[in-house]
Amino acid sequence: MFRSTNGRVVENQTKIDTINTRFKSALEANDMEGIKQIIIDLEIVCPISGTKNWTDVRQFNLMFSTEMGSVSEDSSKIYLRPETAQGIFVNFLNVQKTGRMRIPFGIAQIGKAFRNEIVARQFIFRMREFEQMEMQFFVRPGTEMEWYETWKAKRMQWHKALGLGEGKQRFHDHLKLAHYANAAADIEFEFPFGFKELEGIHSRTDFDLKSHEEFSGKKLRYFDPELNESYIPYVVETSIGLDRMFLAILSSAYNEEKLEDGSTRDVLNIPAFLAPVKVAVMPLTKKDGLPEKAREIIDILKYEHIYQYDEKDAIGKRYRRQDAIGTPFCITVDHQTLEDNTVTIRERDTMTQERVAIADLQRIVNAKVSINEVLKSL
């Protein structure tokens, strides 16, 4: 109500809309001078130096080129892929036919991508060689907007289910669309340096399959038995950077926590199912047969979980070491263990300890580190 009735807000919104429209049409027309003129007209200043002395707006070359061929005269110029998606498109029919897939279905893959980034920085946020995890979801023409909305919602739900913190994710809808898209949005994550893109969701229409068909001369069509007709499917893509995901998890999970006794601990509050080491097994002392008992426990858990064995230093110090690498559970073998076959299991986040029977350990640890509950919640 306030937004639609307050004179000042309405006036500002109209200004924003006018600028956005002008910006969008300049981008779409590749009008570099027009973009520069917007910067000049709006009197935009560099937030760091305070200057308005801008260079001309230029188009940057974002692809890496190289040569293929043994002799230089015969070599042809090729480009390193800036996204992994095209491999999926050229294999679309192989997968559909051999997997006997019916539309709608998706193909997902992970692989290297290369971009000639002008400024590669912010740790592993922006690199020239990175790893992408992409899915192309093939749908009936005309249903792509529904699927686009479905995947936007699903992917956001998945990010939130990782438990990296409330309010850490948000959508950013694209103003300017790439030449192949009819809708696009980013899921942004609040990195230590602000909200930045983590994943892109794009409705790519039939652009890619159509182009491959055109330039290869090979049909890339799907026969839809329900409609009794062939068509080039439309595609909704989800594209996420593995490295950015890793940075998102690490940066949001790392905490320096003040404890009640005034000391601090470094702790990686990483979700248990993502923790690289799931469990640490520690004999309270190095003697009295406790290390041997600890080894027996490892023999129970080692087939399913990455573990660490640690008998060095005081137990408190050992807990801290595990906290710092995000190990969700520490199992301690003490003298009582020798008497009644129970151990303590300490939880990283709450630091609480519980006594449990060794016979129940496998079941307890399996349940606690399983990703199944998260997947079921989606």
Residue nearest to ligand ATP (CB): 241
Q: Which of 240, 249, 272, 345 binds ligand ATP (CB under 6 A)?
A: 240
Which segment (142-150, 191-199, 228-236, 308-316) binds ligand ATP by CB under 6 A? 191-199
Which segment (6-14, 237-245, 257-265, 283-291) binds ligand ATP by CB under 6 A? 237-245
The answer to whether residue 344 forms part of the interface with ligand ATP (CB under 6 A) is no
Q: Which is nearer to ligand ATP, 177 or 351 (CB)?
A: 177
The answer to whether residue 117 forms part of the interface with ligand ATP (CB under 6 A) is yes
Nearest distance in Å: CB 177, ligand ATP? 12
Q: Which is nearer to ligand ATP, 200 or 326 (CB)?
A: 200
Phi and psi dihedrals of 25, rounded to 5?
-70, -30
Q: Which of 152, 159, 190, 199 binds ligand ATP (CB under 6 A)?
A: 199
Q: How many CB atoms lie within 10 A of CB 337?
A: 23
Stretch 251-270 residues interacting with ligand ATP (CB under 6 A): none
The tokens for 346 are: 């300490």
| Residue written as token pair 């940066």 | 251
Alpha-helix residue ranges (DSSP H) falling in the chain: 2-5, 7-28, 32-41, 85-90, 92-98, 144-161, 207-216, 242-253, 290-301, 315-325, 335-340, 358-369, 372-376
The answer to whether residue 136 forms part of the interface with ligand ATP (CB under 6 A) is no
Distance in angstroms (rounded) separating the CA atoms of residues 116 and 94? 31
The answer to whether residue 243 forms part of the interface with ligand ATP (CB under 6 A) is yes
How many residues make up the chain in this entry? 378
Distance in angstroms (rounded) separating the CA atoms of residues 44 and 189? 26
The answer to whether residue 188 forms part of the interface with ligand ATP (CB under 6 A) is no
The answer to whether residue 236 forms part of the interface with ligand ATP (CB under 6 A) is no
Distance in angstroms (rounded) separating the CA atoms of residues 128 and 326? 29
Distance in angstroms (rounded) separating the CA atoms of residues 310 and 283? 8
The answer to whether residue 103 forms part of the interface with ligand ATP (CB under 6 A) is no
The dihedral formed by the CA atoms of 333, 336, 339 and 345, expressed in degrees to the nearest 10: -50
Q: Which of 89, 106, 107, 115 binds ligand ATP (CB under 6 A)?
A: 115
Q: Are 329 and 344 in contact (CB under 8 A)?
A: no
The answer to whether residue 152 forms part of the interface with ligand ATP (CB under 6 A) is no
Nearest distance in Å: CB 134, ligand ATP? 8
The answer to whether residue 126 forms part of the interface with ligand ATP (CB under 6 A) is yes
Check residue 138 and report its DSSP letter: E
Nearest distance in Å: CB 246, ligand ATP? 10
The answer to whether residue 347 forms part of the interface with ligand ATP (CB under 6 A) is no
Distance in angstroms (rounded) separating the CA atoms of residues 228 and 231? 10
Q: Which of 203, 205, 239, 308 binds ligand ATP (CB under 6 A)?
A: 239
The answer to whether residue 130 forms part of the interface with ligand ATP (CB under 6 A) is yes
Nearest distance in Å: CB 80, ligand ATP? 13
Q: Are 362 and 300 in contact (CB under 8 A)?
A: yes
Which segment (102-110, 207-215, 236-244, 351-359) binds ligand ATP by CB under 6 A? 236-244
The answer to whether residue 203 forms part of the interface with ligand ATP (CB under 6 A) is no
Nearest distance in Å: CB 111, ligand ATP? 11
Burial-class residue 213 by CB neighbours within 10 Å (0-12, 13-18, 19+). middle
Distance in angstroms (rounded) separating the CA atoms of residues 257 and 267? 7
Nearest distance in Å: CB 199, ligand ATP? 5
What would the DSSP string read from start to end of 176-218? Answer: SPPTT-SEEEEEEEEETTEEEEEEEEEEEETHHHHHHHHHH--
Which segment (23-31, 97-105, 124-132, 141-149) binds ligand ATP by CB under 6 A? 124-132
The answer to whether residue 204 forms part of the interface with ligand ATP (CB under 6 A) is no
| Residue written as token pair 């998102």 | 248
Stretch 283-342 residues interacting with ligand ATP (CB under 6 A): none
| CA pseudo-torsion sign 147, 152, 153, 157 | positive
Distance in angstroms (rounded) separating the CA atoms of residues 316 and 328? 15
Q: Which of 168, 204, 244, 293 binds ligand ATP (CB under 6 A)?
A: 244
| Site of interaction with ligand ATP (CB under 6 A) | 115, 117, 126-127, 130, 132, 197-200, 239-241, 243-244
